[in-house]
Chain A
């Protein structure tokens, strides 16, 4: 409706009957990313404000229904001379109850890009899968794989559009692109940081302690595996919300390798015996 565009809609909102504005076709355009609450993937009821709804349910004791976001995990990633190590715990706690010990907290976006998840499990899974879809579309449209900085930027934009609506996500986007290895931390506020070492989740301070004391640029591959393993194990030992198994991945230039999936209690016993 070119005339409608030219004259502007009459006062008030456009009626439901109105054909979408020509400009709104931008949503399917490459290069025009819109992840707003009005996107077709989300079926929000009309007139619903997510922020108010959430506030009414949050823990101020007034309402009978309380939705408590489940947080709890340890994830880490670091760069070294032979690539990147990504290591995550696998416990999914909900308050004091453990849902499962076998969650996979690393999403494989493509053979050269991984995303870790910490915070609200639902948020992480949904948004990172959406990111995987955007990465795939980018590859199909442009003939080359999306760079790590672009992928993390897209995720950060998604988070920015939902700022203060109660999302909870701390993720690391790790991969290898034409500029070399890339590691970015993205969280639900839209923060996006590039670095060579990150750890997220409730056990992250413990993991940082172990990694800081052991990390060097010139680690050998086995030493790097050991460092990642130890950091997760010690974090799960001290943090009650983390546990399960250590899922460790090694990102290399051509491919990634799943190094192991070892139970943390077994590892803790090994370390104990070794030190005695």
Chain B
């Protein structure tokens, strides 16, 4: 049945599916994991970096992009599609500033990206964008925000979320470990993001890319060294927790 209704995007199937959109969501599930966490005073984005070939220049692979000074996004899925979406979003951020003299709110730019994605599910001759995005930032009122969009064009606000490969595992980890205490301090929120990614990333800190935005400050990308530091701290805490456990049992 599916094969007859999945050729053209504009065709519903008899049981109400838009198969192209669902196939796009499958493409997203193949992409590398991204996690976003909304803390009290900080928002954190972490992505799994695919290991680069020997001759490849690592710096040209960027999965976390700033859309404006106060908003940034990470994606999972087709990188080329993401480039187009990010470009349009960046133009829209500036256009909004020009027209209305205020920087975009995180919700506004999310809505723009979601509307853009929806348009591509309803045009002939085009296919949907094969990406899900995690958009984070602070609004003028100082409240941190995290939104997730998917290829169908829907968007939701989240306290913490993960997209891409093994997103389910990471989300379960977050559901267990996201507490008010865990995110009260900036450092704890960063560690939570790294711990969530370490669940699914092979070979540890080398394959993690991390970025944060603090209130009233621009996007900060973590260098490999800073990530190493955080990972080492996490390992230490783990060891200490294990020691305590073994002490209790003896």
Question: Does B173 have its Cβ within 8 Å of any Cβ on chain A?
Answer: no
Chain A, interface residues (CB within 8 Å), range: 10 to 19
Contact of B125 among A2, A150, A153, A157 (CB under 8 A): A2
> Could you tell me the distance between the alpha carbons of A61 and B43 in the complex, rounded to whole angstroms?
68
Q: Do the beta carbons of A31 and B99 come within 8 Å of each other?
A: yes
Decide: A2 near B124, CB < 8 A? Known: A142-B108, A150-B102.
Answer: yes
Q: Do the beta carbons of A33 and B123 come within 8 Å of each other?
A: no
Decide: A31 near B102, CB < 8 A? Known: A2-B123, A2-B125, A2-B126.
Answer: no
Q: Which residue of B lies closest to A151 (CB)?
A: B100
- B-contact bits for A126-157, CB 8 A (1 contact / 0 none): 00000000000000001000110110011001
Contacts of A30 in B (CB 8 A): 111-112
Contacts of B119 in A (CB 8 A): 25
Question: Does A3 have its Cβ within 8 Å of any Cβ on chain B?
Answer: yes
Q: Do the beta carbons of B115 and A29 come within 8 Å of each other?
A: yes
> Could you tell me the distance between the alpha carbons of A146 and B105 in the complex, rounded to whole angstroms?
13
Interface residues in B, total, Cβ within 8 A:
19
Query: Measured between C-beta atoms, what is the minimum distance from A139 to chain B in Å?
Result: 13
Contacts of B125 in A (CB 8 A): 1-3
Q: Do the beta carbons of A147 and B95 come within 8 Å of each other?
A: no
Contact of B101 among A3, A25, A32, A149 (CB under 8 A): A149
Query: Measured between C-beta atoms, what is the minimum distance from A23 to chain B in Å?
Result: 11
Q: Do the beta carbons of B112 and A31 come within 8 Å of each other?
A: yes
Q: Do the beta carbons of B123 and A22 come within 8 Å of each other?
A: yes
Decide: A31 near B92, CB < 8 A? Known: A3-B125, A153-B99, A157-B99.
Answer: yes
Contacts of A157 in B (CB 8 A): 99
Q: Which residue of B lies closest to A33 (CB)?
A: B99
- A-contact bits for B104-116, CB 8 A (1 contact / 0 none): 0101100110010
- A-contact bits for B223-250, CB 8 A (1 contact / 0 none): 0000000000000000000000000000
Q: Do the beta carbons of B123 and A142 come within 8 Å of each other?
A: no
Question: Does B206 have its Cβ within 8 Å of any Cβ on chain A?
Answer: no
Question: Does B96 have its Cβ within 8 Å of any Cβ on chain A?
Answer: yes
Contacts of B140 in A (CB 8 A): 178
**Among A1, A29, A31, A33, which residue has the most Cβ atoms of chain B within 10 A?**
A31
Contacts of B108 in A (CB 8 A): 31, 142
> Could you tell me the distance between the alpha carbons of A147 and B95 in the complex, rounded to whole angstroms?
16
State which residues 18-32 of B face A: CB under 8 Å: none
Contacts of A25 in B (CB 8 A): 119
Q: Do the beta carbons of A31 and B105 come within 8 Å of each other?
A: no
> Could you tell me the distance between the alpha carbons of A149 and B103 in the complex, rounded to whole angstroms?
12
Query: Measured between C-beta atoms, what is the minimum distance from A160 to chain B in Å?
Result: 11
Q: Which residue of B lies closest to A148 (CB)?
A: B101
Q: Which residue of A lies closest to B108 (CB)?
A: A142
Query: Measured between C-beta atoms, what is the minimum distance from B241 to chain A in Å?
Result: 44
Contacts of A147 in B (CB 8 A): 100-102
> Could you tell me the distance between the alpha carbons of A33 and B92 in the complex, rounded to whole angstroms?
12
Q: Which residue of B lies closest to A4 (CB)?
A: B125
Contacts of A153 in B (CB 8 A): 99-101
> Could you tell me the distance between the alpha carbons of A116 and B123 in the complex, rounded to whole angstroms?
44
Contacts of A154 in B (CB 8 A): 99-100
> Could you tell me the distance between the alpha carbons of A257 and B23 in the complex, rounded to whole angstroms?
58
> Could you tell me the distance between the alpha carbons of A3 and B108 in the complex, rounded to whole angstroms?
31
Q: Which residue of B lies closest to A144 (CB)?
A: B105
**Among B92, B99, B123, B124, which residue has the most Cβ atoms of chain A within 10 A?**
B99
Q: Which residue of B lies closest to A177 (CB)?
A: B102
Contacts of A150 in B (CB 8 A): 99-102
Decide: A149 near B99, CB < 8 A? Known: A3-B125, A142-B108.
Answer: no
> Could you tell me the distance between the alpha carbons of A154 and B98 in the complex, rounded to whole angstroms?
10
Q: Do the beta carbons of A149 and B95 come within 8 Å of each other?
A: no
> Could you tell me the distance between the alpha carbons of A3 and B126 in the complex, rounded to whole angstroms?
10
- Considering the complex of A and B, which 3 residue pairs feature the smallest CB-CB distances, nearest first? A2-B125, A150-B100, A149-B101
**Can you offer 17 A-B residue contacts whose CB atoms are under 8 A?**
A2-B125, A2-B126, A3-B125, A22-B123, A30-B112, A31-B92, A31-B99, A31-B112, A147-B101, A147-B102, A149-B102, A150-B99, A150-B100, A150-B102, A154-B99, A157-B99, A178-B140
Chain A interfacial positions (CB closer than 8 Å to B): 1-3, 22, 25, 29-33, 142, 146-147, 149-150, 153-154, 157, 178
Task: Please name 20 further chain A to chain B contacts, defined as beta carbons within 8 Å, in addition to the given A2-B125, A31-B96, A150-B99, sorted by A numbering.
Answer: A1-B125, A2-B123, A2-B126, A3-B125, A31-B99, A31-B112, A32-B95, A33-B99, A142-B108, A146-B100, A147-B101, A149-B102, A150-B100, A150-B101, A150-B102, A153-B100, A153-B101, A154-B99, A157-B99, A178-B140
